[in-house]
Amino acid sequence: MDALFNHLLANCAIILFGILAWTNLPQRKGPERFSSSVRFGMFFGVCAMAVMLRPYEIQPGIHVDLRTVPLSIAGLVGGWPAGVVAASMASLLRIWLGGAGALPGVTVIVLTTGVGILASVWLDRRYANYREIAAFSALVALADLVALLVFTRSSALEEMQGGAPFWVGLVFVATIFGSLAVFAELRRRDTNQSLKMYEAAIQSLPESLNVKDKEGRFLLANAATARLMSQESPKSLLGRTIHDFYPSDIADMFRKEELDVLSQECAKMSEQEFVHKDGRHLVLSTLKAPLHDESGALFGLVTHNRDLTEKKRLLRALAESEKRANIALSNMADGLIMFDAELNVVFCNEQYRAMFPLTADVRIPGVPARTILQTAIARGEFKDIAPEKVTEFIEGAMSRLRLPGIVQFPLYDGRWVESRTTPFEDGGCLVVCSDITRSKRDEEELRDLNVKLSEMAMTDSLTELLNRRAFDTALASEIGHCQARGSTLSLLMIDVDRFKAYNDTYGHTTGDDCLKRVAQVVRSIAQRPGDRAARYGGEEMAVVLPNASEEGALALAHELKTRIRALDIPHIGSEKGVVTVSIGIATLDGFSRGVTPVQLVRNADEALYRAKASGRDAVRSWETSGFEPKEKIQVADAAS
């Protein structure tokens, strides 16, 4: 019994060491589930073989050990590819070892691995809970026990001196703890991957987001926070407080708000206007919210800052423009004319007659409104009235004198007049005319300002290309047009090679200049009607090419790559010596239905990934047939 205990304890140590070694193996990136499963099976197959080399021999050629633990876990976690690989490795070793127990040993290997594979199918790629792991471990131990009873002679069982129940129990316990350890590691890896994704998402936010502890020290900050604090990177903020970046009075104000949030444990939004230490005048919309750990204990707060400086400036400009328009209207001398029920002039003031100098002589009491209109048209006082539209214009104007309303119209000398009609109960009316020339001018300025605001909202400020939002809108629209017309649509995804190394070497200012020059070339190739060039994010740009075949897109991409290289921008951090780009192409034909912008971008991104993987300064395309992926590689001459 002691010998059996020692051997099985040694087996447990081997299994424990194997699982610990697996948890410390470097993780391979990528979605290759099959290859990952095979590697998992190979590792646990080696673990099973190591256990088999330290068996307990109950009779010559008949061995017992804990091989079933790593084999069943291989099938449970890695599925059938891992189970087949691990079982094959263990079976080959058992056959090589030979002896009377070779065939029963292989049978046990196949049986317990099969239990793991069946359990994997039942789980369907989800993680097992405690009950499921216990049930699985019981099945593995039962399979081991059945094999022991069926394939082992009674004399051999007597040799174990009553150790069979202990051995089966140890199989059960070892399988439970081994499975728990493996699933815990898989959950840890998933959590780590999710944390990396969250961090990447936070870092990509254009607005400041940071986390501080209760003492106000930065625990996490994104790049936008670093820019707000005039720092080169978020790392320079960690462990420091706002007192390190703002004047003491401003820092104290911010810290007081933080303490209020921490003490009340509720979110608070405020607008902060202040002068930064570097002289910048900033207006921020700030949201501060408390953070709690899993136990509910308060450990810090999260702060989100939205820069409203430019928006406030534009709003002040708009308010000032509106103020000027109101002043112009309030100081304007109005003209007044009154008509009776037959629409003859009853009264008009001099301001009214002065507004219409060409017909002032007929704008007097007793003259019919129709006569005034006919005379104004004949003398050219009204602007842009075609001869064939004269009757229609006069009848429309006469009918509007019977209804309340406002009409604006231009005069021959460029002035604009607004008439406001108020009908009387007896059929007459009062018309107040205002010279709104200045108001019209202000209105046009406001409209121009609104157009500029709209352009700013859709344009990337650095490259002057379309921004990401405008790109998403344009791509969705063009895909809809493409499918409606049955035409083609190509998408270029462009990435500046080794751009991080460029920034690290030459600095972000030079990096911005580099992006501007690259963007100019990208914009220069998108010259057809409907072509759209955009900054997709960071150093990545995109070009939407309606009615462009794959061949045309490839030719354009190669031209773009060559022209970027011809800029001859030095880049010692690149193996090319100069700034280059890699380009991925995806083409959609009009017969592909249900294709989303996300799918098209994903295909172009995959083509871009292959271009970069092939050595950069290259072009790759993703060919679609019914939008089923089929790789088509166009190898670019890196020296061209």
From CA 16, how far away is CA 288, in angstroms rounded? Answer: 46
From CA 161, how far away is CA 1, in angstroms rounded? Answer: 6
From CA 632, how far away is CA 623, in angstroms rounded? Answer: 6
64-67: which pairs have CB atoms within 8 A and are 24 or more residues apart?
64/4, 64/148, 64/160, 64/167, 65/7, 65/8, 65/11, 66/8, 66/11, 66/12, 66/15, 66/170, 66/171, 66/174, 67/108, 67/109
Q: Kind and range of the H or E element at 229?
A: none
Strand, helix or coil at 552? helix
From CA 526, how far away is CA 570, in angstroms rounded? Answer: 25
What does the block give as tokens for 258? 């933080």
Active site residue 215: no
**At a CB cut-off of 8 Å and minimum separation 6, what does 619 contact?**
554, 557, 558, 561, 582, 583, 584, 585, 611, 634, 636
Give the active site residue among 258, 418, 539, 550.
Answer: 539
Strand, helix or coil at 590? coil
Q: CB-based burial of residue 533 (10 Å sphere; 0-12 exposed, 13-18 middle, 19+ buried)?
A: buried
Closest CA to 37 of 87, 80, 98, 100: 80
Q: 62-88 burial, b if ≥16 CB within 10 A, otherwise e?
A: bbbbbbbbbbbbbbbbbbbbbbbbbbb
Residue type, 8: L
Ordered strands of the 489-496 beta sheet: 532-537, 540-546, 489-496, 581-588, 619-625, 628-632
What does the block give as tokens for 512? 């911005």
List, in sequence order, the alpha helices (H) in 298-405: 309-330, 350-355, 369-378, 390-400
From CA 322, how far away is CA 313, in angstroms rounded? Answer: 14
Q: What is the DSSP string of 194-223?
A: HHHHHHHHHHH-SSEEEEEETTS-EEEE-H
Closest CA to 167 of 5, 339, 345: 5
What does the block give as tokens for 191? 């959590």
Q: For residues 449 and 318, is the Cβ–Cβ distance under 8 A? A: yes
From CA 25, how far away is CA 40, in angstroms rounded? Answer: 11
List, in sequence order, the alpha helices (H) in 53-123: 68-97, 102-123
- The phi, psi pair for 73, rounded to 5°, reads -65, -35
Of all residues in the chain, what percent are helix, strand and coil, respectively (each to 5)?
Answer: 55, 20, 25
Q: CA 586 from chain center: how many Å?
A: 19
Query: Which positions are catalytic?
Result: 539
